[in-house]
Structure 1
Amino acid sequence: MDDDAVERELRAQLTAALESAEYPVADPFDLVPAIPGGPQTRFEVGEERYSAMELAVRLADYQSFPYESVDEVVDDVIAAMREEGLL
């Protein structure tokens, strides 16, 4: 799978997991109830898999709460993963 396809798939996974949150969200704990499997929910990034909790911890410095929409959250996660070499 090429990089664009991996990003599209990750974006779809993140959106599906976070779209039911009540926006705006003020902090990461506002997102937890929306994630179907809670903090242990896994996201596939190519051959790698990361839990929601692992991503939250590894990418904490990149988060800019509050977020007004799922797209804002997903955009920041994708950008942070690129910056950290995870994507």
Structure 2
Amino acid sequence: MSDVRAELREQFMDAFGGADYPVKNQMDLVPALPDGPATKFEAGDVSLTAMELAAKLGSEQEFPYDDAESLVEDILDGLEAKDMI
């Protein structure tokens, strides 16, 4: 696992781990984010807000999610598939 992926995984788990699962859509995740849609994730030369993630990865996510682990893995796989990490 790349350092960037590992750093982002930790940040995503911290941010999305507090959501009330199961989550049915991206809006269910907003209350868990410390700065709402403006919550920023940074690792290496990658910097994304939660809003940017939602816009760029909507097609990569398969809601509903029953836990943070499966959500975070789909986010990371989507970022890799789009060559963003």
TM-score under structure 2 normalisation? 0.96
Residue 15 of structure 1: aligned partner: 13
CA distance in 2, matches of 1:42, 1:29: 16
Give the RMSD, CA atoms, in angstroms.
0.9
- Residues 1-87 of structure 1: matches in 2 within 5 Å? 4-87=2-85
Deviates more, 1:3-12 or 1:33-42: 3-12
C-alpha deviations, 1:10-68, integer Å up to 9, x for none? 00000000101010000000000001110001111321211000010000001100000
Question: Percent identity at matched positions?
Answer: 40
Determine helix, strand or coil for the equivalent of 2:59. helix
Determine helix, strand or coil for the equivalent of 2:63. coil
Determine helix, strand or coil for the equivalent of 2:12. helix
> Hey, which bits of structure 1, 4+ residues long, moved more than 6 A?
none
TM-score under structure 1 normalisation? 0.94
Amino acid in the other structure paired with 2:20? E
CA distance in 1, matches of 2:33, 2:48: 14
Amino acid in the other structure paired with 1:76? D
Amino acid in the other structure paired with 1:38? G
